[in-house]
Structure 1
Amino acid sequence: MARGVLPEESSKEVSELIDVLISLFFESLPRRDQRNWARVYLNGLVSTAGKKTIRNIAGAGASSVEQSLQQFISKSPWDWAPVRRSLAQYLERTAQRPLAWVVRPMVIEKAGDRSVGVGRQFVPQLGRTANCQQASGIWLASSEASFPVEWTLTLPGPWTSELLRRRRAGIPDTARSLTPSQDAVHAVQRMAATWQLQRRPVVMDLSNTEVPRSVEALYAQDIPFVLKVDGTLPVAFGAAGRQRPGPYVAPARELIDSLRSQRRVVEWTRHGRGEGAVTLLTSATVLGAHHEDRPGPPAHPPLLLMGAWTETALLPTEFWLTNIGDRPLAQLFLLAKLTDRVQLDFGDICEQVGIRDFEGRSFRGWHHHATLASVAHAATLLATRRPHEGQARPAAHDDGRYGTPRPAPVPPPRRPLNPGRASRHEYIR
């Protein structure tokens, strides 16, 4: 996608908002010159044409500016965590109807082997082996907009086991080699425990092997979740008893398809397109993902397995596991589809402010760049996207039966959806 420059009027609005955000998010930076260089870098991310490298942001012939930005991004020891936390807290107060935290993987292909975390590895999102960095963003998402607020950078084994490589990249002693999903779940747990955020569902995709461990980790901190899984995932269902031996185990696709007579019609609007869509949904209560290595009963209550058919599909095509049992399927489905909202904003905004463009080699530099790109994303989106009267919003209508779909009614004004939130919890601690 071509890297355009904002129109002059929009650029001015974004720059003015950046000045405000600097005073809100960067108070933790101890020196005024650091905050000034943050301002220069942020304005460069939103206004520089082409790739958002430090050299391009500094401009031709500005070697002193380039050196100062290089120092600020790659070597200066300022802590990015307070900036990200302040950004998340601000967006919770100002974003329109935030619904969930969405985990989105990000793959950054590289030509060499010096960038921190790079390595040849199989990437499910690409369906092939690539020389790349793997990262994950945690996004605050609503039907109208989404914002990245936290990032993880996955470190393949050699980056944590080889002392020389670790020292050159400045990788902290506490960093471990985990899978991208494990890194993301740990980040969500950290946010839940220390960021003083409202309790919202976490939406993410998981491979079958990651499901049991991730479910246990999220349940451990009472975090609501909607996890997209593969139809081949073995799930346990049914209770043992005199008349009903069990539990039974079957692939998620097989269990959901056996309940096709209970499907309900959901009509909704695709994010960013204004196109109507029809989906058929059904669900089943399951004990959890079956784990041959851990045959005992799960350490958490039963889960809801939700399955979806598109209009023309003969078999169910999408599957989710959730611990949110007190919401209609239509609402749970819209939560799951917030991944589409994030995908749209990632391409339209986050890539345009250079989230993939960092060319430095240090762990600290990568996280500094990702933090500033997140603030640039927020400034661009908040300053340039204004809600308009009559603007179509994604909506869903569950008519309670399987038959000819009806037009979705215009919904009345409603409070922000916060599925699964217990009234006794104002914050996750």
Structure 2
Amino acid sequence: MQTFLNQFLAFSETHKLLSKKKRVLVAVSGGLDSMALCHLMLKAEFPFAIAHCNFNLRGKESDGDEYFVKAFANTHNIEFYSTKFDTKSFAETNKLSIQEAARKLRYNWFLELLNRKKLDCVATAHHLNDNIETVLFNLSRGTGIKGLRGILPKQEKIIRPLLFATRETLESFAKQENISWREDSSNTSDKYSRNFIRHKIMPLFKEINPSFEQTFAENIAVFSEVENVFKNHFNKILKALVFKRHNDFYISIEKLKTLPDKRSILFTFLKDFGFNAQQIDDILKNLTGQAGAIYSSGTARIIRDRRFLILTKGKEEDASAHFIEEATQEIKTSQFTLKIELPDSLPNSLKTTTESAFVNKAELQFPLMLRKWKAGDYFYPFGFNLKKKKVKKFLTDLKLPLHEKENVWVIESNKKIVWVVGLRADERFTVNAKNPTLKFTMLPNENTFG
């Protein structure tokens, strides 16, 4: 079928996917699609190796697939790599569906193989019907415009040279070329959403429009172009709307209010943090409300501050304390690194800054403790003439946003607070000329937005 081979070559040329100079790793399950891709690669004389994953999900059937693909590689003198995964265990451990677990396992392995074997890219056998199913699946779940573009022909080191072809044309090519393949029994089960779309939904569309696949392919191309236009607009808006401080994103409420497409912009930014469309609507309704509202996605939180919507990722800082021995030089947390040292000399001013504090070492009792502040904590803030103050009141007076209050740490010595980290030292540990001085330095884990 020369015409089909020409279509394959033309698609590859258009998207700059394959050449005789590239060393490609073809992902081969043994099914129709990947076996057709192998034969096209052979006909085009493109150099390639084969990678096969055995997910141990179908017993002897899975082993049979592996033997089949290995035999094909041996027959055609093609480099062959295979691996086996305990997919069920991986899915349970990482709280993933079987399909998500299998995808994560295989792509991680493919990329590891690329690096180890000095190969250029991985080719998968996704075809047009897979692309249509992906878009319909995205629509059924609720998606932004990104979900309508479907599967891309090229993403970093992953290429998909069969996206132009329908499953029907692949079957015709396979029959014409007498290609053998293995059938995956799980493909017949409608318990998987994609199979349900393939077996139940797609035929209905084809009844309405016999050229449904081609029509949908044209729409996907349009969606992809629109997505690129929107992405450029989105990135431009985002630079003016959002800035990042440490690990948190600050979204200007005043600037957001002025945007005519504020819902689309906010949804596009927040959906990757787990927020859904209803939550976006709730956030937008409260833009003129009182500060303090909190919205949670499970993996992140939005805190409505006076001037900003503050996005904090849901990474839990371990609640246990960090102990500081006399010889300790450095402690790392997810927010900052704390350095502890005996300074060679003292600066002219020993005033505590947001980054550092100088304290009288003779007053310290080791081990010290680095921990999050808690209700009931109090100290004697430096510069307050030994006036006692609750840490909670101190933070409130500073008008810190809620999420910043929650992330304040203290250094404690024998149940006495030495330093409210990054904010104020305790007057009781003021340095003097008689005793050695210890310097604490807090270095934020800097991440800049953009």
Q: TM-score, normalised by structure 2?
A: 0.25
Q: Which has the higher helix share?
A: 2
Q: TM-score, normalised by structure 1?
A: 0.26
